[in-house]
Amino acid sequence: MFENVTYLDNAACTRLDERVLEAMKPYFFDIYAVATSEFGYSMGIDAKEALERSRENIASKLDANSEEIIFTSGSTESSNTALKGVTLALKEKKGKHVIVSKIEDFPVLNTAKALERQGFAVTFLDVDSEGFVDLEELKNIITKETALVSIQQGNQEIGTVQDLNAISEVCEEKDVLLHTDATHSFTRLPLNVKELPVDLITMSAHTIHGPRGIGALYIRKDTPITKFMDGGFQEFNLRAGVEDIPSAVGFAKAIELVTEEENRRLKAMRDRVIEKSLSEIPEVTLNGSWEKRLPQNANLTFHYVEGESITLHMDMRGFAVSTGSACFSRSLEASHVIRGIGGDHERAHGSVRFTFGRYNHMEDADAAIEAMSEIVARLREISPLARK
């Protein structure tokens, strides 16, 4: 049905790699038992071994220990577990203050707002015009009551990559825990917990051609965290529920398949879209940093046209892209990220995000910009906002 679609919304979800599916199949049809201890039956022991191999493979990508990784249902649950688990553990011992940046993805942002409704003090940290947090401001707003700081590695919308080394140094100096949402940067950017003193990391398979519905949370050893979802004793008694072993196996396989060559290829497509948009289409603004940017992300505002109009016209030509326009948001609010970097509603409404994946090629980038140039020119001809 969608054979001729050029899919450029890989930050939302990626196409499953067939090799991932092949790795998962045995755990649907052959070794389908729940994971059991060494004293259980053979199929359950084999399932347990597959789960632990997957955990070890994911841990090795971070240079972490396998017991520091718990599986979740995805990035939303991972971030909820990090923020709610740490604040529950520390609210009496440390305090009830949490710091998050204003441009975090919704799992962090809305969890912080939920904590605020429960009586926690939350500071929403400003960012500059490219999306970077101010380290001096971070230092100044951390207090002895601060239980946790949560700042993403790479932004989901504008692609800006934070200086996690500098942020972690501030948190270490102030003796406060640091969580980072690496949903869009894990395997795309270096992340080594032996070199970087970050305490919790959110990860997900759905952005790297793995199965959706599986994620992981890195929790550094001895990090205080309270289980917030009751049930069984799975995942080191931190995450109740029967483990999704096929998806855990698929997640580990997806990580294995990401290469540096692939990341360089994504970056080349990203740069082509940015360069051609800025040079060939008038009145275009790049959102986020170019130099410190996720390799797969290009986000641009095409002024004097609505993002949803661009998206619909692109769809009619066979291209799937996304927009920060309110009409594409269930909240009916324009992108909080664009507004967070100082953009007005017009800039948010005209923003379009291109995110590349394994199954895209440079021809896709060229064809998308050719179509975009024609669509924007046509829409501006009929737009009352455009400069005539």
- The catalytically annotated residue of 327, 328, 366, 386 is 327
Position 386: which residue type? A
371, 314 contact by CB (below 8 A): yes
Identity of residue 260: E
In angstroms, rounded to a whole number, what is the distance separating the alpha carbons of residues 96 and 90? Answer: 8
What element of type H or E holds 317?
none
Q: CA-CA distances (angstroms) from residue 349 to 127, 146, 328?
A: 20, 36, 10
**SS3 state at 358:** coil
Contact (Cβ atoms closer than 8 angstroms) between residue 80 and residue 87: no
DSSP letter assigned to residue 334: -
Nearest CA to 71 out of 242, 223, 209, 187 is that of: 242
The span from the CA of 51 to the CA of 22, in Å, is 16
Cβ atoms of 53 and 252 closer than 8 Å: yes
Q: How far apart are CA 184 and CA 105, in angstroms?
A: 10
Known active-site residue 171: no
- From the list 172, 230, 222, the residue with the least C-alpha distance to 197 is 172
Active-site annotation, residues: 327
